[in-house]
Structure formats: structure tokens, C-alpha cells
Amino acid sequence: MTQLTATGRWILLISMLAVMCSGNVTAQKQELPAWLQPDVLKASVEIGMSEEQLQQFRAVVSRFLDGRMKAINKLMRGHNVTNMDRKLKSKTNSLKKKMDKEMAEFLTEEQLPKYGVYRDLLVSKFRI
């Protein structure tokens, strides 16, 4: 596996930030999604993944985010809206455990603590 160089990681981070900032003024007034927050992006770059790991990482994070969105939609459609925060927190924790297990399959022992920082930061950015 080839690791991205420090310069490569910064280029990747700057590219992501440029894409985020390229919207019009109206779009800039809207809050960025949790996974596009600059500090979350920076934490992902600091994991120091190879190109192959980066592809796997994106797929796993996408499944986590999709699963969480599906859970939110399901809760919103449900008739029992009591304890929605608790139910969503429980589902998020379940999805986090699944994501952790999948990440452990391809991240190194040195990368896992950095991934933990990323994961905790990502989850802390969710509004619901």
C-alpha cells in the first residue's frame, strides 16, 4: 500500500475545501453537513491512509451516513415520536460499532486511534 505524502494529504484537504467553498453566496450561508466540516475533513486526512484505504474509508463512511439517514427517515415516518432523540442515539451507536468493525479490517493499529478521533468528531457535528 502506498501512503499519501504530507504534501499529498494537504493537497487533498485543500481540494476538498475548494470544492466546498465553490458554491454561490446563498449556499455559503447554509451550514455544511457534518462530514464536510473543515475540522472533520482535516481529521480524515490526518489518519494517513493509502489510496486503497481511502476508497474503503469512503465506502464505509458512506454506508454509516446512509444508514443514519435511513434511521432518521424511518423515525420521522413513524407514528410513535416519543423518545426520538434516544432512539436515534441508539441507532447511531449501533451504526458506529458496525463502522468501527469495518474500519478495523483495513486500517493499521497506528491509524485506528486517529480514525477514532475522526469518528467522534464526525458524530459530534450531527444536529439530531
Give the cell for residue 47. Answer: 489518519
* pLDDT above 90: percentage of residues in the chain: 54
Instruction: Classify residue 116: in a domain, yes or no.
Output: yes
Number of domains composing the chain: 1
Instruction: Classify residue 112: in a domain, yes or no.
Output: yes
Distance, CA of 9 to CA of 92 (rounded, Å): 29
Q: Under a CB-based contact definition with an 8 Å cutoff, are residues 95 and 13 in contact?
A: no
Full residue range of the structural domain in which residue 46 is found: 6-124
Distance, CA of 90 to CA of 100 (rounded, Å): 15
Nearest to 123 by CA among 40, 51, 44: 40
Instruction: Classify residue 42: in a domain, yes or no.
Output: yes
Higher pLDDT, 60 or 128: 60
Strand partners, 3: 50
Q: Of 4-8, 19-23, 54-58, 94-98, where does mean pLDDT reach its minimum?
A: 19-23
pLDDT at residue 27, as a whole number? 46
Place of cell 493537497: 11
Instruction: Classify residue 1: in a domain, yes or no.
Output: no
Is 70 exceeded by the pLDDT of residue 49?
yes
Distance, CA of 123 to CA of 110 (rounded, Å): 21
Instruction: Classify residue 25: in a domain, yes or no.
Output: yes
pLDDT tens-digit readout, 53-92:
999 999 999 999 999 999 988 888 877 777 888 888 999 9
pLDDT at residue 7, as a whole number? 59
